[in-house]
Structures are given as C-alpha cells and as structure tokens.
Amino acid sequence: MTLNVTDLSVARGGIPVLEGVSFALEPGRALILRGPNGIGKTTLLRTVAGLQPTLKGRVEGAEDQIAYAAHSDGLKPTLTVAENLTFWASVFGRNGIEQALDGFDLQSLRDRQAGALSAGQKRRLGLSRMLVTGRPIWIMDEPTVSLDKTSVAMFAEAVRAHLGQGGSALIATHIDLGLEAEVLDVGPYKAKPPEIDDFDGGFL
Amino acid sequence: MIALLLRDLKLAFRAGGGFGLGLAFFLIVTVMVPFSVGPQSELLARIAPGVLWLGALLACLLSLDRLLALDWEDGSLDLLATAPLPLESTVTIKALAHWITTGLPLIMAAPVLGVLLNLPVQGFQWLVISLLLGTPALSVIGTFGAALTVGLKRGGLLMSLLVMPLYVPTLIFGSEVARRGAEGMAVQTPLLLLAGISAASIALLPFASAAVLRVNLR
C-alpha cells in the first residue's frame, strides 16, 4: 500500500505551518522527516494519520493502514505491561503479544505495572505497541526520545524488520537510526505568512 | 469493543480508578439530608424520591471529568482515534463503562438509602425502575459533556455547567416517577417520557459526542 501525499498544507491552531508538501511512501521504504522545532512535523504526521483535517491537498492510502505513535505512549499506569499490550492488540483485532515483548526486551517486565516503569521502558512499551497493531504504515513522532543506545538499536532493528515484511515507516526524528531511508527536510515547505491586503488591516 | 469495555472496568476497579467515588458521594448526601432537615419522618418521606434522584444525578456528575480526560492526557485517545474502532462506538463503550461503574452501584444502593429517608414501601419499586431507566441517559449525556470539554485543562466546571441543563428533563421525569410511585399514583406518563428521553439520548448522542471529539482532537 503506497502512501501518497500531494500538495499538502497543514495548520496548527488555525495558522498554516507547512504548505505544498508532497511525497510518496512505498512498501518497504522509510521516510525520515527532519526540520527545526516548531516547523510542523508533528502537525504533518497528525494530518497524515487522519487526526486533523488537511488545509489543502490530499493524503491517499492512509485510511485504516496506519499505526500512529505520538509523543505520549497511551499507557495506563495501573495496568501491567502485558495487559497494556493485550488491550491494544485486541483493539486492532489481533492476538499474540510475545513477538512485541521479545522485540523490545520487555519479557522480564511483563507483569510489572506500567506506572512503575522508567521513562525509557515506557517508551519501549509504547513502541512495541506498533508491532501488535499489524498495520503496514507506521507513523512515528520522535520515537527515540528517552531511549538509550541499546534501545535505539532495538528500535531500528524493529523498523528494519517491519520494512523487510513490506511495511513502511514515516518517522520524525533528529538522530540517525542507521536505516536506509530517504530524508525529507520540511524546512523549505514552511508556510509563508499571509499577505496583508490592506495596509491598515491590522488595526481593524 | 469488548476489550475497551474490559479495560475501562479494570481501570476503574484498580487503585485510584475512581470506582466508589460516586457511590460514596451518594451515600454522604442521603445520610446528611435527615440531619439537616430534622427528625420529621413525614416530611422526609415526602422529599425522599427527589433527594435520592438529585443525589444520584450529582454522583454521576462528579465522576464525569475522568471519563475521557484521563485518556486524553496519556494520549490513548489519539491512538484510539487511529484504531479500527469508530469513535462512535468508543464513546458508547465509555458511556457504558461509566454506567456500570457509577450508575449501577447507585441503583443498587438507592433502596437501602431509601430506608434512611423513610421512603414509603410502595415507592421502592418505582425508585429502582426510574433509576434503571434514567441513569443510562445521565451517562450518555455526561459523555457528551466530557467530549465537549476534553481538551480543556480543569474543564470540570465548564462541563458541569454544560451538562446540568441537559440533565434537567431526566431529573424532572425520573423523580416524578419515583414521587408518584411513592404516593401510589399512576406513573405511566412520566415513566414513558423518561424512557423516551433515555432512548433518544442513547440513540443520538454518541454521534454528537464522536463529532465533537474529532473537533477536539485536532
């Protein structure tokens, strides 16, 4: 399933932040988004994920194909690691969380409450959720925040395996994951401030 | 869908889940009323249906701000919105979970608390029936209010103000059923209206809740 984004403009809080973004993400490929803070990477990802409407342009091939990982992991502190994962697996109509637990080295923590995990462990649990969704397109927003070096390698391995199975990934990150991925710098797509048509418009 | 319901119930019963909050509030209100009104059993018997209904309604209201706000704060709501589950069914399940953890305990406790308020014997049956018919509407309307205010920090006050007027019809007809039942009068008209309000809320409001939730997630 190819994800096609054509001439996309996105807005945050009613203000356009990016305009004219186009890319195609084919199965087996990864696309890394780069750009300075506040440029609109998160807004772009949320729009592609269907969480907010586009201002202009089209997103095709995303419907019911994407798994989205945001800044926050959506974990419930009073549920155990295994319960959290099992819940997301059944929401996506899948079962079997063993592979996800193995992939992110969470087997030894499976009966620990998510509230008792460290920040990095929480992140690993949040990322392992992607494995239980079974969705082909991963959309991830700063996935490596609070991960140590080993965990970053673990994550890169998981993404590589996912790409190997014909999946694809759209990742906003600042660090080098060691993936063979195209890089899209969204800096040049920054939306221009709207023209002021009337010179005293600001006073009205 | 079942998974979401089970998760919400599990969360409610675990430590800090908020189960029992509404029940405890209901208990406190109805136990305190005889102290504040004084030892006049015939007056208590007259106001009992209204007090019990008001207590149940406020208890429901008290637990609403956790309904969606917790899922919003930890990001689960975003993830649920991208899951295969339509938001309409998500909010319906949330309302159902709220009813099971708040409404159902209230219904079970109401007859016991009715004794404290000297509720006439023939009134117990109608009190329970009116609560059974009315509390689902309270949960569904409350979910709508929670969806409206989900992005707001400390939105509890605004939500109470928004939800209160929507609760009024349910309160009027619910306590009318309980009152008429207690006085041995015919209850058919308010009972039908109460059932109608609940049925309409359950049928329509999940769509409204999902729509405002989509707007709030932007």
Question: What is the tens place of the pLDDT at every residue in A169-184?
Answer: 999 988 888 787 888 8
**B28, pLDDT greater than 90:** yes
**A201, pLDDT greater than 60:** no
Provide the pLDDT for residue A63. Answer: 81
**B79, pLDDT greater than 60:** yes
Q: Token match 């023209």: residue?
A: A195
Residue pair A23/A183 in contact (Cβ under 8 Å)? The answer is no
Model pLDDT for residues B33-63, shown as the tens digit of each residue: 999 988 888 899 999 999 999 999 999 998 8
**Does B39 lie at the interface with A, CB-CB under 8 angstroms?**
no
- pLDDT class of A203 with cuts at 50, 70, 90: low
Provide the pLDDT for residue B205. Answer: 95
Are B79 and A88 an interchain contact pair (Cβ–Cβ within 8 Å)?
yes
Model pLDDT for residues B88-108, shown as the tens digit of each residue: 999 999 999 999 999 999 999
Residues of A within an 8 Å Cβ radius of B: 46, 49-53, 64, 66-68, 70-76, 78-79, 83, 86-88, 90-93, 129
**A21, pLDDT greater than 70:** yes
Q: How far apart are CA A1 and CA B103, in angstroms?
A: 45
Q: How far apart are CA B136 and CA B151, in angstroms?
A: 24
Are A70 and B218 an interchain contact pair (Cβ–Cβ within 8 Å)?
no
Provide the pLDDT for residue A145. Answer: 87
Are B79 and A66 an interchain contact pair (Cβ–Cβ within 8 Å)?
no
- Of the candidates A51, A79, A90, the beta carbon closest to that of B81 is on A51
Query: Between A201 and B168, where is the model more confident?
Result: B168
DSSP-derived letter for residue A190 is B
Residue pair A133/A67 in contact (Cβ under 8 Å)? The answer is yes
Q: Average pLDDT, whole number, for chain B? A: 90
The shortest C-alpha distance from A115 to chain B (Å) reads 12
β-sheet bridge partners, residue A24: A4
Provide the pLDDT for residue A198. Answer: 61
Provide the pLDDT for residue B36. Answer: 92
In this predicted structure, which of A26-30, A94-98, A133-137 has the lowest mean pLDDT?
Answer: A94-98
Mean pLDDT of A46-53: 88
β-sheet bridge partners, residue A139: A68, A170
Provide the pLDDT for residue A105. Answer: 87
Provide the pLDDT for residue B201. Answer: 95
**B17, pLDDT greater than 80:** no
Q: Average pLDDT, whole number, for chain A? A: 86
Mean pLDDT of A124-138: 90
Q: Which of A87, A92, A133 is the best substitution to test chain B (most B C-beta atoms within 10 A)?
A: A87
Tell me whether 0.90 is exceeded by the ipTM.
no
Quick one: which of B144, B31, B61, B35 has its CA closest to B95?
B144
The shortest C-alpha distance from A161 to chain B (Å) reads 22
**A9, pLDDT greater than 80:** yes
Provide the pLDDT for residue B178. Answer: 94
Q: Which two tokens stand for residue A200?
A: 């005293």
Model pLDDT for residues A150-175, shown as the tens digit of each residue: 889 989 989 999 999 888 999 998 88
Mean pLDDT of A6-24: 87
Cβ-in-10-Å burial (0-12, 13-18, 19+) of B55 comes to buried
Provide the pLDDT for residue A187. Answer: 82
Provide the pLDDT for residue A5. Answer: 87
pTM of structure: 0.88
Mean pLDDT of B140-156: 89
SS3 content of chain A, % helix, strand, coil (to 5): 35, 25, 40
**B18, pLDDT greater than 90:** no
Model pLDDT for residues A61-104, shown as the tens digit of each residue: 878 888 898 888 888 888 899 999 999 988 888 888 888 888 88
